[in-house]
Structure 1
Amino acid sequence: MRTSAVEILRVEAGKRTYRADCLAVEEPLTIRVSGEALSMTMRTPGEDEELVLGFLYGEGVIQRRADILQLRGGEVTLAPGVALPPPLRRFPTHAACGICGRSTLPQAEEPPQRKGGPLFPQALFPQLSARVRAAQEVFEATGGLHAAALFTADGALLCLREDIGRHNALDKVIGWALQQALLPLTEHLLFVSGRVSYELVQKAARAGIPALVAVGAPSSLAVAMCQDADITLVGFLRGECFNIYAGEWRIVSV
Structure 2
Amino acid sequence: MSYPQTMSASHRRARGLRLDTLAAVNDDIAVEEPLEMRLGDGRRTLRSVVTMRTPGADLELAAGWVLGEGIVRCVDDLVSVRACTDRSLLPQARGNVVTVDLAEQALPRLAGLSRATDITGACGVCGADSLAAVMGRQLEVLAPAVPLLDPGVVMALTDHLQEAQRVFARTGGLHGAGVTDATGTLMAVREDIGRHNAVDKVLGWALMAPAQPTALVVSSRASFEIVQKAAASRVPVVVTVSAPSSLAIDLAESAGITLVAFARSGRATAYTHPARVTGPAD
Do these two structures clear the TM 0.5 threshold for a shared fold by scoring above it? yes
Instruction: Name the residue aligned to 2:26.
Output: 20
Deviates more, 1:93-102 or 1:189-198: 93-102
Instruction: Name the residue aligned to 2:164.
Output: 135
* Superimposed CA distance per residue, residues 32-54 of structure 1 (whole angstroms, 9 cap, x where no aligned partner): 11224431111111111111111
Amino acid at match of 2:258: T
| Aligned counterparts of 2:184 and 2:9: Cα–Cα separation in 1 | 29
| Aligned counterparts of 2:38 and 2:149: Cα–Cα separation in 1 | 40
Instruction: Name the residue aligned to 2:244.
Output: 218
- Secondary structure (helix, strand or coil) at the match of 1:225 reads helix
Instruction: Name the residue aligned to 1:157.
Output: 186
Once the two structures are TM-superposed, the CA of residue 237 in structure 1 deviates from its matched residue by 1.7
- RMSD (CA atoms): 2.2
Contact 1:91/1:98 (CA < 8 Å) preserved in 2? no
Once the two structures are TM-superposed, the CA of residue 224 in structure 1 deviates from its matched residue by 1.2
Instruction: Name the residue aligned to 2:209.
Output: 180
Instruction: Name the residue aligned to 1:38.
Output: 48
Contact 2:30/2:54 (CA < 8 Å) preserved in 1? yes
* Superimposed CA distance per residue, residues 110-159 of structure 1 (whole angstroms, 9 cap, x where no aligned partner): 48686336422111123212321221111111010001110112111101
TM-score calculated relative to the size of structure 1:
0.90
Instruction: Name the residue aligned to 1:63.
Output: 73
Contact 2:53/2:193 (CA < 8 Å) preserved in 1? yes
Instruction: Name the residue aligned to 1:124.
Output: 153
Once the two structures are TM-superposed, the CA of residue 194 in structure 1 deviates from its matched residue by 0.6
- Secondary structure (helix, strand or coil) at the match of 2:107 reads coil
- 1:67-216 matches, within 5 Å, as 67-73=77-83, 74-84=98-108, 85-86=110-111, 89-90=114-115, 92=117, 93-105=119-131, 106=134, 107-110=136-139, 115-116=144-145, 118-183=147-212, 185=213, 188-216=214-242
| Aligned counterparts of 1:15 and 1:157: Cα–Cα separation in 2 | 41
TM-score calculated relative to the size of structure 2:
0.82
* TM-aligned CA distance change 1:6 to 1:207, over 3 Å: same
- Secondary structure (helix, strand or coil) at the match of 2:227 reads helix
* TM-aligned CA distance change 1:61 to 1:110, over 3 Å: closer
What runs of 5+ residues in structure 1 fail to find an aligned partner? none
- Secondary structure (helix, strand or coil) at the match of 1:69 reads strand
Equivalent pairs: percent with the same residue? 39
Once the two structures are TM-superposed, the CA of residue 210 in structure 1 deviates from its matched residue by 1.0
- Secondary structure (helix, strand or coil) at the match of 1:86 reads helix
Alignment length (residue pairs): 251
